[in-house]
Amino acid sequence: MTKRVLHLVLKRKYFERIYNRTKLTEYRNFTSYWQKRIESKHYTHIKFQLAYSKNPPTMLVEVLDRNIVDYKGVKSYAFKLGKITEVNNYE
């Protein structure tokens, strides 16, 4: 099976929560920007990057499921996160 990877940049608190497995769902607003990147694509993994820097920490996380949900009163994409399969430049 071919990996299809969505690249997302996160702030430290969200990156750490995913790394520590206290955040198991990643949300993105249902906007035209995200629709272009997400609709009609089946992502198998998300590569999370910690902020913007020269050699940023990254982690590759399995995507178990994707849905469209109401998150905090906003229509959003919800990615259910699985195993962390790779971590680079972090702890």
Domain range for 75 is: 5-88
Please count the structural domains in the chain: 1
What is residue 83's predicted lDDT score, i.e. its pLDDT? Answer: 98
**Residue range 15-50, pLDDT digits in tens:** 999 999 999 999 999 999 999 999 999 999 999 999
Tokens of 8: 């997302």
What is the domain-level CATH number for residue 32? Answer: 2.30.130
Q: What single-letter DSSP state applies at residue 89?
A: S
Cα distance between residue 80 and residue 15, in whole Å: 15
Neighbours of 79 (CB within 10 A): 22
pTM of the model: 0.94
Please report the DSSP string for 10-76 in residue order. E-HHHHHHHHTTS--EEEEE--HHHHHHHTT---SEEEEEESS-SS--EEEEEEEEEEEEEETTEEE
pLDDT tens-digit series, residues 57-91: 999 999 999 999 999 999 999 999 999 999 999 97
Phi, psi (degrees; rounded to nearest 5) at 67: -135, 170
pLDDT at 91: 78
The confidence score (pLDDT) of residue 1 equals: 72
